[in-house]
Amino acid sequence: EVQLVQSGAEVKKPGESLRISCQGSGYTFTKYWIVWVRQKAGKGLEWMGVMYPGDSDIRITPSFQGQVTISADKSINTAYLQWSSLKASDTALYYCARRHEDGAGGLDVWGQGTTVIVSS
Amino acid sequence: AIQMTQSPSSLSASVGDRVTITCRASQGIGDELGWYQHKPGKAPRLLIYATSTLQSGVPLRFSGSGSGTDFTLTISSLQPEDVATYYCLQDYNYPQTFGQGTKVEI
């Protein structure tokens, strides 16, 4: 079964660091981009950025550049979304999804989502 | 970045109604558009990619059309399980961009 499994919910304080993960299985991890999507409470989906584990190509939308780091460890089929200093405004639900290397087929498999709460 | 303008932001319809949601891109994107269904507490689900190709397992009452800058998602006969928020997403280039979403209620 093709799936993306995300790490569990996190509760952090402002200024703390955090890394959440997204592990793929059932497919060739290096042939699909991994996309990260944010949803704040009561708001729509926001496309944050993408990484191609095959060659570590990374694209991050301007509003998130400098705010998050995207990476992957292809030896364990896992992608990461990381913050060095969390803000309360990072409180949200984060999804990962896969996109075929040639861009065809949309975001066809999604992780279950990781809730991040940042509160003092 | 390409802007995606989706309308309406919400709608209420009856079971069996035909429902149409539109998405307009700020520049031409060919046919590189997908539609997603998102229910509370669940991950988004791909319904349609490449404007009109139905993802495997998606009911035939869902269809997509359009090209260039104007796109449409149609639910031919609304069912109770279709209550959700629907998003378009352009696949043309990075950064990809979602529409603002359309909340469909019955």
Does B101 sit within 8 Å of A105, measured CB to CB?
no
Mean pLDDT of A73-85: 97
Tokens 């496309």 correspond to what residue?
A47
Local confidence band at A100 (pLDDT 50, 70, 90 cut-offs): confident
Mean pLDDT of A93-108: 91
> How many beta-carbon contacts under 8 Å exist across A and B?
65
Q: What share of chain A has pLDDT > 70, as a percent?
A: 100
Can you tell me the distance from the alpha carbon of A105 to that of A27, in angstroms, rounded to the nearest whole number? 15
Tokens 């065809």 correspond to what residue?
A104
pLDDT by residue (tens digit) across B72-101? Answer: 999 999 999 999 999 999 999 999 999 999
At residue A33, the pLDDT reads: 95
Identify the CA nearest to B46 among candidates B80, B91, B11, B7: B91
Local confidence band at A111 (pLDDT 50, 70, 90 cut-offs): very high
Paired with A73 in beta bridges are: A78
Can you tell me the distance from the alpha carbon of A72 to that of B103, in angstroms, rounded to the nearest whole number? 34
Does B87 sit within 8 Å of A103, measured CB to CB?
no
Picking from A49, A99, A111, the nearest residue to B43 by CB comes out as A111
At residue A102, the pLDDT reads: 82
Cα distances (Å, whole numbers) of residue A74 to A19, B31, B83? 16, 31, 38
At residue B62, the pLDDT reads: 98
Per the omega criterion (within 30 degrees of 0), is the bond before A53 cis? no
How many other CB atoms are found less than 10 A from the CB of residue A98? Answer: 26
Can you tell me the distance from the alpha carbon of A9 to that of A119, in angstroms, rounded to the nearest whole number? 14
Does residue B76 belong to the interface with chain A, where contact is any CB pair within 8 Å? no
Can you tell me the distance from the alpha carbon of A83 to that of A94, in angstroms, rounded to the nearest whole number? 13
